[in-house]
Structure 1
Amino acid sequence: MSDLISIIVPCYNEEPSLPYFYEEVCKVFSSMEQKYGVNFELLFVNDGSRDQTLSVIKRYAGSDPRVKYISFSRNFGKEGAIIAGLTHARGDYVAMMDADLQDPPSLLDEMYTAIKEEDYDCVGTRRVDRKGEPPIRSFFARCFYKLINQISKTEIVDGARDFRLMTRQMTDAILDMPEYNRFSKGIFGWVGFRTKWLEYENVERVAGDTKWSFWKLFLYSLDGIIAFSTAPLSIASVLGIICLFISVVIILIIIAKTLIWGDPVAGYPSMMCVIFFLGGLQLFSIGILGQYLAKTYLETKRRPVYIIKETNC
């Protein structure tokens, strides 16, 4: 029996990109169908788009039986789109890619070959450069990967994309993690399995604008740190020990200056500095605890990660 490969494509306001993407991916499908005798399922997940993305997808679905779609009741974010696609994908192998062609569909052939012939469970992709990105964004991205790999036991590869092809076994393992606060890059690493990485130079969007602002990426990075490391929780203890040590040293200096040199102790300015310093540390520590508490609170409410409005699956 022929293998079925499911391709999950999260979409949010991707109307300008979809014609280019569909044309390109169909070329790859035709080539691989002839070469390997495989079948394809193209599963679009419309994440509450405000343009005509859903209409374009429905048009493709009407003429191509390989095209399936899921449309959310509102925008739930890319993580919700990914887990929805994984849940409804029927393939023996499951891939994810963006609709903006920053994930080259031509790599699917090499991915499939690596899994079938080299006994890998997953073939992922990573960018070897960040050409076209603002320098400040690239700098903070590199800092994030260095930081999270230092404080987390789960390896997250620098430059890794969500674009990957996985076996059904690995897909099911990911589905067994019903987390509300999801960070897929960390989840892919946490479940393990043998992974091969394909490197390629950064490709700019074929059309449209990116949906990831610097602020959204910053918040997403915080989600990743909180989801896969408890190291920030120890910051409060470390800061407390440091403050205690500094305070003891300062007390000894003040006593020495007063007894030996008769230097009077400064009052109001020094007291205000100490109050603001300790107050800032306390608020910072409480803020860290609050982030973990907020994530725990959201998990305990057990709200669905997404809500489907319509689908042809």
Structure 2
Amino acid sequence: MKQELISIVVPCYNEEEMIPLFYKEMEVVRKLLSAEIEYIFINDGSSDETLSVLRELSKINNKRVRYISFSRNFGKEAALYAGLRNALGDYVTVMDVDLQDPPELLPKMFHLIKEENYDCIGTRRVNRDGEPPIRSFFAKRFYRIINQISETEIVDGARDYRLMTRQMVNAILEVTEYNRFSKGIFSWVGFKTKYLEFKNQERIAGETTWSFWSLLKYSLDGIVSFSEAPLAFASFVGIFSFIGALLMAIVIMSRTIIFDNPTSGWTSLVVLILGLGGLQLLCLGIIGKYLGKTFLETKRRPIYIVKETEKNNC
């Protein structure tokens, strides 16, 4: 009977220090699995020696280590999609190379997905120790907001680290949208999922490339991708502004006609104009965000471009 295969998809961006450490840890875990493993490292346009490290690792372990190198930096979402698309395994897992996704959980995940008939075993952090307080605060607010305004539930603290069946992976690959938000897509496709909890672990080496602003932009992309609530907000702001202006006009006309009290106060007028102008620009910005996403979808550009794979390194 042919042994089952697990594909390990690992996005990498400037991770020359972490790749050997990650591979060493995963090789320890591999011996505890009753399945074969293939590694698929995605070099997302790194500017350091990440590609050289992957070339060397692939030469030494050419039957087990594969890599895909992009022509430039396309982002983690593109890297995830490329990895899933090229994975050959009966099961596929997505992991960060920084070892903040505990490799030692993989045997338990494989056991659960096999023995308890799950389609996906995900992971979620129960704390955020080691993170800047402002990042933790906004992360919690993000999950609360998006679960209130979206029909797709996204589990608080959920990581991309998960083990999925081939059927679920194929369903994810059918979602070919250009503007991808994988946490939402994993939930949107459905399938029976169980989450394992773990305490946050800090990276061993190297520095994270995720700044506060990049995470904020990523969260806004997630809201736009899985909720129309901001558009509804823009509509309601317009309606309430119009009603408020109409009521103020009635009050001013009444004061002038009944009490012969001429309207005065340039300061209040300027404040009103600036306030309403600001709301209009906010609403235009919200609409523009959705329009921009639509524009990118209609271009039908490829999600990523491959420059090199392990096959070029033979």
TM-score of the two chains, using structure 2 as the length reference: 0.95
Q: 5 Å matches for 1:78-93?
A: 78-93=76-91
- For the residue of structure 1 that corresponds to 2:176, the secondary structure is coil
Give the counterpart letter for 2:44 in structure 1. Answer: D
Deviations 1:20-67, CA, capped at 9 Å, x for gaps: 1111000001121xxx2x111011111111111111112111111211
- Give structure 1 regions of 4+ aligned residues with deviation exceeding 6 angstroms: none
Query: Does residue 1:135 correspond to 2:133, yes or no?
Result: yes
- Separation in 2, partners of 1:17, 1:291: 36
Query: Does residue 1:43 correspond to 2:40, yes or no?
Result: yes
- Which residue number corresponds to residue 203 of structure 2? 205
Give the counterpart letter for 2:27 in structure 1. Answer: C
- Separation in 2, partners of 1:237, 1:8: 42
- Which residue number corresponds to residue 63 of structure 1? 60
- Which residue number corresponds to residue 274 of structure 2? 276
Q: 1:118 aligns with which of 103, 109, 116?
A: 116
TM-superposed CA distance for 1:250, in Å, is: 2.2
- Which residue number corresponds to residue 12 of structure 2? 11
TM-superposed CA distance for 1:260, in Å, is: 5.2
Structure 2 residue runs of 5 or longer lacking an equivalent are none
- Which residue number corresponds to residue 263 of structure 2? 265
TM-superposed CA distance for 1:267, in Å, is: 4.6
- For the residue of structure 2 that corresponds to 1:166, the secondary structure is strand
- For the residue of structure 2 that corresponds to 1:106, the secondary structure is helix
TM-superposed CA distance for 1:134, in Å, is: 0.6
TM-superposed CA distance for 1:246, in Å, is: 1.9
Q: 1:157 aligns with which of 117, 133, 155?
A: 155
Deviations 1:260-295, CA, capped at 9 Å, x for gaps: 554431153233222212211111111111111111
Query: Does residue 1:31 correspond to 2:32, yes or no?
Result: yes
Which deviates more from structure 2 when the two are superposed, residues 19-28 or residues 234-243? Answer: 234-243
Q: 1:307 aligns with which of 286, 305, 308?
A: 305
Q: 2:98 aligns with which of 97, 100, 104?
A: 100
- For the residue of structure 2 that corresponds to 1:62, the secondary structure is helix
- Separation in 1, partners of 2:246, 2:299: 45
Identity of aligned residues (%): 60
- Separation in 2, partners of 1:289, 1:175: 28
TM-superposed CA distance for 1:245, in Å, is: 2.7
- Which residue number corresponds to residue 215 of structure 1? 213
Deviations 1:90-110, CA, capped at 9 Å, x for gaps: 000000001100001111001
Query: Does residue 1:171 correspond to 2:172, yes or no?
Result: no
Give the counterpart letter for 2:45 in structure 1. Answer: G
Tell me if the contact between 2:45 and 2:69 (Cα under 8 Å) persists in the aligned partners. yes
Q: 1:224 aligns with which of 201, 222, 225?
A: 222
Q: 1:288 aligns with which of 252, 274, 286?
A: 286
- Separation in 2, partners of 1:299, 1:236: 22
Tell me if the contact between 2:123 and 2:198 (Cα under 8 Å) persists in the aligned partners. yes
Tell me if the contact between 2:55 and 2:310 (Cα under 8 Å) persists in the aligned partners. no
Which deviates more from structure 2 when the two are superposed, residues 271-280 or residues 209-218? Answer: 271-280
Give the counterpart letter for 2:54 in structure 1. Answer: I
Which deviates more from structure 2 when the two are superposed, residues 234-243 or residues 141-150? Answer: 234-243
- For the residue of structure 2 that corresponds to 1:31, the secondary structure is coil
Structure 1 residue runs of 5 or longer lacking an equivalent are none
- For the residue of structure 2 that corresponds to 1:100, the secondary structure is coil
Give the counterpart letter for 1:122 in structure 2. Answer: C
- Over the aligned positions, Cα root-mean-square deviation in angstroms equals 1.3
Give the counterpart letter for 1:96 in structure 2. Answer: V
TM-superposed CA distance for 1:256, in Å, is: 4.3
